[in-house]
């Protein structure tokens, strides 16, 4: 699991930042005086910025899929040098669950 910790950490950072943007948008829409972190909500919302963060999250998910798959492949090849071949490649469900892991 050490090999996958960096891809998970990178994805979690992008998810956290995207949640911050969504929280700011909701605070603006509902006239909330303060965000959970104590800061003030934005005075407006630029749709271009939301598109940028949506694209960043999409890229982060694709990067996580690519990086974690290669990390698991590397772990499988190192682990199986002496013994029988064991398939530890995750299925799609593992990637989906790990996307929501915090």
Q: How far apart are CA 96 and CA 63, in angstroms?
A: 13
In the structure encoding, which two tokens stand for residue 29, read together?
């829409």
Q: What are the mean pLDDT values of the chain's consecutive 10-residue runs (102 residues total)?
A: 75 89 89 87 88 90 82 59 55 65 55
**What torsion, rounded to 10 degrees, do the Cα atoms 24, 25, 26, 28 define?**
90
Q: pLDDT value at position 52?
A: 92
Residue 23 confidence (pLDDT): 86
Please state the domain count of the chain: 1
Q: Which pTM does this prediction carry? A: 0.62
8 to 2, 21, 57, 61: CA distances (angstroms):
10, 20, 13, 10
pLDDT for 30 equals 92
Query: Which structural domain, as residue segments, surrounds residue 88?
Result: 2-99
Under DSSP, is residue 80 helix (H, G, I), strand (E, B) or coil? coil
């Amino acid at each position: 699991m050490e090999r996958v910790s960096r891809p998970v950490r990178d994805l979690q950072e992008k998810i956290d930042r995207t949640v911050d943007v969504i929280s700011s948008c909701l605070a603006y829409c509902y006239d909330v005086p303060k965000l959970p972190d104590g800061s003030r909500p934005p005075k407006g919302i630029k749709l271009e910025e939301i598109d940028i963060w949506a694209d960043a999250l999409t890229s982060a998910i694709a990067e996580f899929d690519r990086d974690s798959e290669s990390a698991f492949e590397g772990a499988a090849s190192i682990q199986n040098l002496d013994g029988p071949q064991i398939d530890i490649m995750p299925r799609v469900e593992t990637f989906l669950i790990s996307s929501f892991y915090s």
